[in-house]
Structure 1
Amino acid sequence: MSGKKVCVVGPSKKFLSGISYYTIRLSNALAARYGVSVVCFRNLLPKFLFPGHKHVGQDLSNLSFEKNVAVFDGMDWNNPLTWYRAYKFLMKEKPDAILLQWWTSSAAHMHLIICLINLRLRAKIILEFHEVVDPFEESILPIRMYSRVMGRLLIRRANGFVTHSDSDKKLLAEKYRMSAEQIQVIPHGLYDQYKAVDRAAARNSLGLGSDTVIMSFGLIRPYKGIPNLIRAFNELPADIADRSKLLLVGEIWEDRESVVQAMDECQYKDRIMLLDRYVSDDEVAQYFSAADIVVLPYLRASQSGVAHIAMTFGKPIIVSKVGGLQESLADYAGTYFIEPGDISAIKAAIIRVLEDKPGPFEPPKRGWEEIVEKYATLIE
């Protein structure tokens, strides 16, 4: 075990998201090699402004930090007293490296506060980008300008940079006029904390019967392309649609009207099941065990935590050729790539999977131990 100490900075489970899970998995994996501490961002913004405000603060995840990981939970966006407590925590832990998780500019001022604290610590700052460009932030001029200004300020204070794909590496270098040589590509680890359950039992508990289950999973936002999946389902031959169910599992964050309209216009709308809420960890294994096909018809994406769950369950995955998804799923035998926004391609891929009757597939070798080895080159 190395004598170096590492602090991971990311969101807590209060505003639960994929980055919350990532922060926990990365911290626990690093703890096998380093002394690890964590600073959690607890309150990220006024609750009513958060699209998923209904699930804020709910106990939805079974994942937790290992006992040997020191955790400060946490820093609030509007409470200087919590910033001071974070300062005291970091002064006590004295990390040699600080890993900052960047996914939204709404937490950027807290990142900068950590950097100011680091003027005393003089630890190495590693900035990890989960989203180089947030589609919502890019669509609003003041937020877009704020995001870029804060991003530049953070980049000037960092010693190393991480993305999860070469496409994001290129995008990051272009957006901030950086040298690509400064940026390390480290693949996203698999979310293998979920264990498969009996398929028949899962289907019975969800009321799915013996139908073929075509599933989309995860938060529903415009860039996820869910209306296109519904339209593709509408175009399936009757003999396939009549023995299939389209299962849409995920809280609708934006553009509910487009999703509802596509469902209303679908000739097989009685075969569509929409679960409009955030799914707890206790339920995840049931849905993935019950599904026959996972469809991710994204219009754009950096990465997808859903894809990393689906691979551990060995499911065939129909996914758009966008962003880092092309790289993260390229070595998975169960991948069926489609062009983004192509409804006919989604339909054809569904039919092809049903004809092939493939799987289950072996997930790629992308364990968290291998991820830590790559981080070691930056930390040490």
Structure 2
Amino acid sequence: MNNTRKIVISVVGPSTRFLSGISYYTIRLCNALATQNAVHAILFRNMLPKRLFPGWKRIGKTDVSIGINSSVEVLEVLDWYNPFSWALGAKRLRSSDAVIFEWWTSSVVHMFLALLLLSGKKSKIFIEFHEVVDPLEYGILPLRMYARIMGRIIRRSASRFIVHSEHDRILIASQYKINPKCIAVIPHGLYDQYPILDKGQSKTILGVQNSFVILFFGLLRPYKGVSDLIRAFEKLPGTIQDNAILLIAGEAWEDLESLEIINNSPLANRIYLKNRYIADEDIPIFFSAADLLVLPYTRASQSGVAHIGIAYGLPILATKVGGLVESLGSYKGTKFVEPLDNNALIQGIMELYNTRAQERYEPPDEMRWDRIALKMREIMSN
């Protein structure tokens, strides 16, 4: 592929009907690539039976903070149950020089395979992995086996594969029997589309004024380690507890244990739980109010929440799991602790409380979207 001419790139991923971090990644990638290339966004309209999605009541009803640029041709057409929609998507792929499939769940892999077969596989195919296997799917043997089998089938059609860390490169190579040399590592971009608000005013809006705000943000799922964070908060010195608020903002999908721990906690009055979907318009308030972002995960490939925190220049306390070590390693505001080690979590919070930064940390240049688009183009040209 000539590295100077404008090439046609199709990006296949979720639309904002099922709004998630992958939706935003798809938008930001399309916009970044479109500055130097012709880009088609081929999006999922219906990814799975609606009632199987825990947040099904808000599907198609959530506002978004950033949209796809007008220079990008958008085709929001793919339905999990409709082969005619796959044919429409495949028709668009035929006119592309390169196709990027955004992989984060095996529930859409049958559509990937159909698109490849119907398009004739004449384009260069790239699969960008955001997850090896979704944590929920991994816990269900038939789904885990389905993801592994389908992944090994579809990999035969791909030219290259893209991940966001060396850790994920090794996992993907093992899980789907891919030659590691065919897997490129490109950093995850920043989610910097949100405005930074006045910290004092944001705290007042949330009712946490004059407090050191420790933020956990995102869906509550067992592997996110929220229960560990609550127990660590309960064991902090009294001088910190009296001046700190643990702010947990996110919808509880599977993690009922953490809800029970909060209800029975002796510090329940210092734990502010916002158990709901956090709309895009509210995200700036939570991150602007925060003094510390904690990611106490027990496993992770990447974290979109971390890339919001970096954009806000927050100090981040994260566990040494998955790709977090690499993705956050170049960010000067990060402190790492071992996972499932509450003493280390306590010490980390204490240290960052006592040495809290007065200025925002700068995000690494490697996370800029123009850099990421350039690296994508280089891979496609080889």
The residue number in structure 1 matching 2:218 is 218
The residue number in structure 2 matching 1:105 is 106
Give the residue type in structure 2 aligned to 1:136.
Answer: L
Q: Using the TM superposition, give the Cα deviation of residue 90 of structure 1 relative to its aligned residue in structure 2, in angstroms.
A: 3.6
Q: Using the TM superposition, give the Cα deviation of residue 351 of structure 1 relative to its aligned residue in structure 2, in angstroms.
A: 0.7
Cα displacement string for residues 44-79 of structure 1 (whole angstroms, at most 9, x for unaligned residues): 111111122232211231211100100001201012
Cα displacement string for residues 81-126 of structure 1 (whole angstroms, at most 9, x for unaligned residues): 32233234445xx11000000000000011111111231x600000
Distance 1:374 1:90 in 2: 22
Give the residue type in structure 2 aligned to 1:376.
Answer: R
For residue 9 of structure 2, give the secondary structure of its aligned residue in structure 1: strand
> Is the CA contact (8 Å cut-off) linking 2:90 and 2:116 kept in structure 1?
no
The residue number in structure 1 matching 2:8 is 5
The residue number in structure 2 matching 1:44 is 47
> Is the CA contact (8 Å cut-off) linking 2:40 and 2:72 kept in structure 1?
yes
The residue number in structure 2 matching 1:290 is 289
Q: Using the TM superposition, give the Cα deviation of residue 146 of structure 1 relative to its aligned residue in structure 2, in angstroms.
A: 0.6
> Is the CA contact (8 Å cut-off) linking 1:12 and 1:74 kept in structure 2?
no
> Is the CA contact (8 Å cut-off) linking 1:60 and 1:279 kept in structure 2?
no
> Is the CA contact (8 Å cut-off) linking 1:299 and 1:341 kept in structure 2?
yes
The residue number in structure 2 matching 1:77 is 80
The residue number in structure 2 matching 1:117 is 118
Q: Using the TM superposition, give the Cα deviation of residue 2 of structure 1 relative to its aligned residue in structure 2, in angstroms.
A: 3.2
Distance 1:80 1:174 in 2: 32
The residue number in structure 2 matching 1:95 is 96
Distance 1:378 1:333 in 2: 28
- Determine whether 1:165 maps to 2:165: yes
> Is the CA contact (8 Å cut-off) linking 1:232 and 1:347 kept in structure 2?
yes
The residue number in structure 1 matching 2:38 is 35
> Is the CA contact (8 Å cut-off) linking 1:229 and 1:297 kept in structure 2?
yes
The residue number in structure 2 matching 1:372 is 373
The residue number in structure 2 matching 1:140 is 140
Give the residue type in structure 1 aligned to 2:30.
Answer: S
TM norm structure 1 = 0.96
Distance 2:174 2:87 in 1: 35
Which one of the candidate residues 35, 60, 63 is aligned to 2:63? 60
For residue 23 of structure 2, give the secondary structure of its aligned residue in structure 1: helix
Give the residue type in structure 2 aligned to 1:144.
Answer: R
Distance 1:116 1:318 in 2: 45
Distance 2:266 2:19 in 1: 35
Distance 2:339 2:74 in 1: 40
Q: Using the TM superposition, give the Cα deviation of residue 26 of structure 1 relative to its aligned residue in structure 2, in angstroms.
A: 0.2
Q: Using the TM superposition, give the Cα deviation of residue 281 of structure 1 relative to its aligned residue in structure 2, in angstroms.
A: 1.7
The residue number in structure 1 matching 2:317 is 318
Give the residue type in structure 1 aligned to 2:303.
Answer: S
The residue number in structure 1 matching 2:304 is 305
For residue 12 of structure 2, give the secondary structure of its aligned residue in structure 1: strand
Cα displacement string for residues 253-288 of structure 1 (whole angstroms, at most 9, x for unaligned residues): 1132x1122213321111111111221221111110
Distance 1:3 1:262 in 2: 55
Distance 1:15 1:185 in 2: 27
Give the residue type in structure 2 aligned to 1:32.
Answer: T
TM norm structure 2 = 0.96
Distance 2:276 2:301 in 1: 23
Give the residue type in structure 2 aligned to 1:378.
Answer: I
Q: CA RMSD in A?
A: 1.3
Distance 1:372 1:46 in 2: 33
Identity of aligned residues (%): 47
Distance 1:209 1:273 in 2: 13
Q: Using the TM superposition, give the Cα deviation of residue 246 of structure 1 relative to its aligned residue in structure 2, in angstroms.
A: 0.6
Q: Using the TM superposition, give the Cα deviation of residue 194 of structure 1 relative to its aligned residue in structure 2, in angstroms.
A: 1.1
For residue 98 of structure 1, give the secondary structure of its aligned residue in structure 2: strand
For residue 42 of structure 1, give the secondary structure of its aligned residue in structure 2: strand
Cα displacement string for residues 3-38 of structure 1 (whole angstroms, at most 9, x for unaligned residues): 210000000101111100000000000000110001
Cα displacement string for residues 200-243 of structure 1 (whole angstroms, at most 9, x for unaligned residues): 11112111111111000011111101011011111112221122
The residue number in structure 2 matching 1:339 is 338
Distance 1:192 1:62 in 2: 10
Distance 2:253 2:12 in 1: 25
- Determine whether 1:351 maps to 2:350: yes
> Is the CA contact (8 Å cut-off) linking 1:165 and 1:187 kept in structure 2?
yes
Q: Using the TM superposition, give the Cα deviation of residue 191 of structure 1 relative to its aligned residue in structure 2, in angstroms.
A: 0.9
